[in-house]
Amino acid sequence: MDKDALMHSSIHIYTSQSHVHLQATQYQKHKYTMAKTSLPLAASFLLLLISSAAAAEAGRLFLTVVNHCPFTVWPAIQPNAGHPVLEKGGFALPTNTHRSFFPPSTHWSGRIWGRTGCSHYNGKFSCVTGDCGHRLECNGLGGATPASLAQFDLHHGGHQDLSSYGVSLVDGFNVPMTVTPHEGRGVCPVVGCREDLLKTCPAHLQLRSHGGHVVACKSGCEAFRTDELCCRNHYNSPQTCRASSHSLFFKHACPSTMTFAHDSPSLMHDCSSPRELKVIFCH
């Protein structure tokens, strides 16, 4: 091959390689451009999903438990039969802290109370008041009386989406407790007992610790166990179950609470579509 042919061949080879390199470079740029375009699209889609989930959660009722007492309270939650346990049924809540959680978005009913004086001793958990079988997480168990109770019946009434709530001292008192609704419609008052009844509890209703401190105030039923005071048997009707001097002690101190089994009128309030129901200890 002569010199000019060799030079022409080299130029052709070099040009062909440059063309392949150019094509490869253009392909890489195309991939990079596609990646740059798809990343914002993926991020936008993810943000849309998050926003949709947040919007769904934003309209959903939640419960908040707040402890303003100068000591730790161990809230306990017991569902009524057929309803799920919330938050494993109990937890510790140090002073000036709160905890929020969602109940089911369908019908749920149950109660919340506060346990006091809880401790672990020799591997055993127990509370001075409100104890639920020596467990931190009650998992559906009820609590020992006396105890102040917040009662709930959520998401009933069809399209009205009513949530009923009230505070009961029918089983006695152990800690001040209120229920405060937020953003509901209709009858949505703050109810409960802000008074510390341990300071004024009559001697015959006092429950004392081993150290002699008043830790709870018993109901007349618990103190004396009679059918009349417990509204049992013949007395288990609105006509025969009446207020007693014992229940009147609680009623005079905390008029927006239920104080005996057939307390009338009902102090459970129907609030339509509240955003939040807040249980406050030592409000």
Please list the rounded mean pLDDT of every run of 10 residues in the chain (283 residues). 44 41 47 49 52 54 98 98 98 98 97 97 94 98 98 94 96 98 94 98 97 97 98 96 97 96 82 97 96
Domain ranges of the chain: 55-281
- Write the burial class of residue 262 (CB in 10 Å: 0-12 exposed, 13-18 middle, 19+ buried): middle
pLDDT, position 57: 60
Tokens linked to 267: 């102090």
Please give the pLDDT value at position 123: 87
What pLDDT sits at residue 139? Answer: 98
- In this prediction, residue 13 carries a pLDDT of 36
- pLDDT value at residue 40: 58
Rounded Cα–Cα distance for residues 242 and 251 (Å): 13
Q: What is the pLDDT of residue 268?
A: 80
**pLDDT in the model for residue 39:** 46
Please tell me the predicted confidence (pLDDT) of residue 208: 97
| pLDDT at residue 56 in the model | 46
Does an H or E element contain 249, and which?
helix 245-253
- How would CATH label the architecture of 55-281? Sandwich (2.60)
Q: pTM score > 0.85 for this model?
A: no
pLDDT value for 269: 87
> CA–CA separation, 265 vs 155, rounded Å?
22
